[in-house]
Structure 1
Amino acid sequence: MNKKKKQIIEAAQTLFIKKGFSATPIQDILEEANVSKGTFYNYFSSKTACLMAILLFIKEEVIHDRQQLALGKSPSDKDIFVKQIAARFHIDKKHNLMALFASLASSDKAHQELKEFLNQQYLEEVTWMAARIRDVFGDEKQEYAYDDAVTCFGTIHLTSKILMDLGKTEIPIEETIYFALQQIEKTNTHPPFLKADYFLLYQQEKHAAEKDTKMTLQQTLTDLGSHVEKLKNQRLTYYHQYLLEQLQSNTPNLFLMESVVDSYQNALQHTNLEDKGKYIKMLFTQLTAEEQEDS
């Protein structure tokens, strides 16, 4: 990440935590980062885009740390799994993410793009947890992996809050994670509640950071071609073809694509492809963030 962009992200993160997201005007970020308005918009199309870049940066740090922990270790090593879960909490604490999310609670929560971005990150984390549960506990957990992932996350978060309320902040998060895993080690006797198919949109074959986002977006649109044609929506077909043409270019116009992606997603609402529209929007947001990172 170049120096100017890093200055903006660090300044914005500090102000969002201190003043709240909605209460922080872009002008305050400019003054805190000591950059011009033109410099800000060279990297971010809006304040929301700046916040999403902060969250994406933190997500990539989590992915990197988890990969480093797994190097040379067995996928079934429970101690490594515990450290990987804990990495999320340690990094969130380092970046004061709880305070940042608290600033959103009374702010622009209704902003659809930001809401979908946060939902996407959360569901990807659940999907990662389910995959790792299968690694650690074996095939017997195959059907129950998502039930167990939600149970594990819920136990960790609620237990952590209770310990904090009781003033037991000296207890390491790793102990809470071991406790949560004990709750899911028992044999499941009920039919699975959460099906793997529910999470198909969030299963990113390893991690998004290990893939070419542009190619993934292009392949997703290509695979959708025949389904879009069946909807017999001339505007939707135009949007679809335009996006594919841009992605096939070496220098796609992301500025123009942004409005087309929004129109494409809106056209898919209330159809059987609505979830695909959300996924395409998420991929485009990630592509934009990666292009800004490289600039």
Structure 2
Amino acid sequence: MNKKKKQIIEAAQTLFIKKGFSATPIQDILDTANISKGTFYNYFSSKIECLMAILSFIKDEVIDDRQQLALGKSPSDRDIFVKQIAARFHIDKKHNLMALFASLGSSDTAHQELKEFLNQQYLEEVTWMAERICDVFGDKKQKYAYDNAVTCFGTIHLTSKILMDIGKTEIPIEETINFALRQIEQTNVYPPFLQEDYFLPYHQKKNVAEKDIKNSLQQTLTDLDRLIEELENNKLTYYHRFLQEQLKTDDPDLLLMESVINSYQHALQYTELEDKGKYIKMLFVQLMEEKK
């Protein structure tokens, strides 16, 4: 991260926890970070965007910590999985994230941009948990991965709150995590409730090569050929074929594709393929980032 940007983030985080998000004017951030207003707005368009940068910084730290824990270890190692889940809680505690969220007033949490950002982070975490459950417990959990991920997260958070409420704060988070995992180890009897397609837009694709993203986008569109035809929407079919033709070229027109992707996703709203549309948009955004 750019040194100056990191300096602003650290100053803002300290002030948000100490004074509260709403009670911290941008001028206080400028004074604490010893920067000019122009420098602040060079990196952030608003205080909300600065807060989201803080949360992204913490998220990246969690991802890096989890990757370090997994180095040289089997994906099915349950102890590593427990440590990876715990990493989120330890890093949140290190950054005093609970105090940071407590500093947000009701009007702040209602801010649409921030709300969507927090929802995105939470759903990405659920998706990560579902993928790791399959790694640790095997293919038998594939169908129930998202049911189990939500159950596991809910158990951890609620149990942690209850332990705090009754003063049992000395119990390590790892014990709570093991308790939660034991709840999902039992054989699932009923049909799964949460489907994998619901979470397609929240799969993390870090460090994926441009070629791989393009191939994933092409394959996803190809897999939808029959389903798109069945919707009998001429405009949608046109958008679908246009995107496929562009991806066949060595140098697709990304600006034109961006406009069509937005129309394509809009056309899929309120259909059974709405989640697929979100996933395709996510892949395209990643392709755009790789091209920069």
1:232-251 pair list within 5 angstroms: 245-246=254-255
Q: Which residue of 1 aligns with 2:207?
A: 210
Shift of 1:151: 0.7
Inter-partner Cα distance in structure 1 for 2:218 and 2:16: 35
Q: Which residue of 1 aligns with 2:72?
A: 72
Q: What RMSD, in angstroms, separates the aligned Cα atoms of the two structures? A: 3.8
Inter-CA distance 279–87: structure 2 relative to 1 (3 Å threshold): farther
Q: How many residues align?
A: 269
Inter-CA distance 280–25: structure 2 relative to 1 (3 Å threshold): farther
Q: Which residue of 1 aligns with 2:235?
A: 230
1:120·1:282 contact (CA, 8 Å) conserved in 2? Answer: no
1:218·1:244 contact (CA, 8 Å) conserved in 2? Answer: no
Inter-partner Cα distance in structure 2 for 1:12 and 1:116: 21
Q: Secondary structure at the match of 1:107?
A: helix
Normalising by structure 1, what TM-score?
A: 0.76
Residue deviations 1:238-271 (CA, integer Å, cap 9, x gap):
xxx9x954599xxxxxxxx9xx9xx989967965
1:156·1:180 contact (CA, 8 Å) conserved in 2? Answer: yes
Shift of 1:284: 5.9
Residue 33, structure 1, aligned to residue 33, structure 2: yes
Inter-partner Cα distance in structure 2 for 1:115 and 1:90: 23
1:220·1:280 contact (CA, 8 Å) conserved in 2? Answer: no
Q: Which residue of 2 aligns with 1:11?
A: 11
- Higher relative contact order, structure no. (Cα contacts within 8 Å, ≥ 6 residues apart): 1
Inter-partner Cα distance in structure 2 for 1:46 and 1:216: 31
Normalising by structure 2, what TM-score?
A: 0.77
1:133·1:145 contact (CA, 8 Å) conserved in 2? Answer: yes
Q: Which residue of 2 aligns with 1:148?
A: 148
Shift of 1:114: 1.4
1:265·1:281 contact (CA, 8 Å) conserved in 2? Answer: no
Inter-partner Cα distance in structure 2 for 1:217 and 1:14: 41
Shift of 1:2: 2.7
1:1-295 pair list within 5 angstroms: 1-204=1-204, 208-211=205-208, 230=235, 245-246=254-255, 272=271, 276=277, 280=281
Inter-partner Cα distance in structure 2 for 1:22 and 1:284: 32
Inter-partner Cα distance in structure 1 for 2:283 and 2:20: 24
Inter-partner Cα distance in structure 1 for 2:27 and 2:19: 13
1:265·1:278 contact (CA, 8 Å) conserved in 2? Answer: no
Inter-CA distance 229–51: structure 2 relative to 1 (3 Å threshold): farther
1:217·1:284 contact (CA, 8 Å) conserved in 2? Answer: no
